[in-house]
Amino acid sequence: MRLSPAEKLARDLDWNLLRVFLALAEAGSVTRAGERLGLKQPSVSQALKRLEDRVGHRLIDRGAGHFALTPEGIALRAEAERVQGAVLRAAEAMAEAAGEVAGEVTLALTSHVVSPLLDEALRRFHQSHPKARLAIEIMPSRAALTRLAEGRASLAICLLHEASPGLQAQVFYREFFGFFCGPPHPLFGRQGLRLADLRGQAAVSFQTDRMGDALAAVTALRQRAGLVGPVGQSSHLEEVRRMIVAGLGIGPLPLHVVAEDVAAGRLWRLPPLDDPPAIDVHLLRNPRARRNRAEAAFLAILDAALAAEPAESRVYGP
């Protein structure tokens, strides 16, 4: 019997090629995809070429400073994600049929989520269900919400600047932001500074540091201080911290996250020292999602931890 092109593709397509393609689509570069997969760049490029030859379409446009999915690549990505989900669900269904709490729990987190409550929930979950898998993915808050809404994450812990339709949100913890500079900066180590002393200095910050977004309170304070810029931005706290330590400018960071850096002399706290802006970090879940037993078990542990910790004990800062 003669097979149609679609049937032939279904018979011959190697799942590993789709896995590499998904890593490329998510990472946005061959280098970062290779790091995620533990493969060298030539192996990633060769896998992409084999997949493009197999499907008969160019899937990614690559060039100097340019990396984008083609229309065919966008269409394949959506289907490949469904295939990936089906493979995972099949493995989880068999484990559940055997009476095991197995499967994967995927946490979509903004950087840098620092919470003893989350750490304890992870410990308890692994101790109680050692066969279950945990995947923690770090991404911007908007991407975390998209992953959760599409059913590609079990839960999200991120910033939230407005209600997200279809998702349930609750405050996970509250953190406070302060301004900091690094050792190369002219204000580093200076005592008795006032907010006015920051005027005209260059700023670095987060991509959500803009009016109407999740860090609007930080934006308002930056504008009141008269900082210039930002001259550098990132969605990752570690990279904002890197720019501050390197002396590119003054930037905002959560007080509890960088306390050790301040104590070690890697960062210097700048005004205002009183009444720093407060930012709520939210826990979000998708009530429409079909959860595997591992996801249900992890959420039960996390909910029990939240119930045992009153909101005031989940305030990290002053």
β 104-109/155-159 pair status: parallel
Q: Give the C-alpha separation, 7 to 5, whole Å.
A: 6
- Burial class, 19, CB count within 10 angstroms (exposed 0-12 / middle 13-18 / buried 19+): middle
Question: Which tokens belong to 250?
Answer: 């003054």
Ordered per-residue pLDDT tens for the chain, 318 residues: 566 666 666 676 778 888 889 999 888 888 888 888 888 889 989 999 998 888 889 999 887 778 889 999 899 888 888 887 777 666 666 666 666 667 889 999 998 899 999 999 999 999 999 888 899 999 889 889 998 998 889 999 999 988 888 999 999 999 999 999 999 999 999 999 999 999 999 999 998 888 777 888 999 999 999 999 889 999 899 999 999 999 999 999 999 999 999 999 999 999 999 989 999 999 999 999 888 889 999 999 999 999 999 989 999 977
Contact assessment for residue 106 and residue 152, using Cβ atoms and an 8 Å cutoff: yes
Tell me which DSSP letter residue 250 carries: B
pLDDT at res. 112: 85
Q: How far apart are CA 207 and CA 236, in angstroms?
A: 9
63: which strand partners? Answer: 66
Block residue for tokens 């879940």: 285
| Cross-strand pairs, 316 | 175
Among residues 100, 92, 128, the alpha carbon closest in space to that of 301 is found at 128
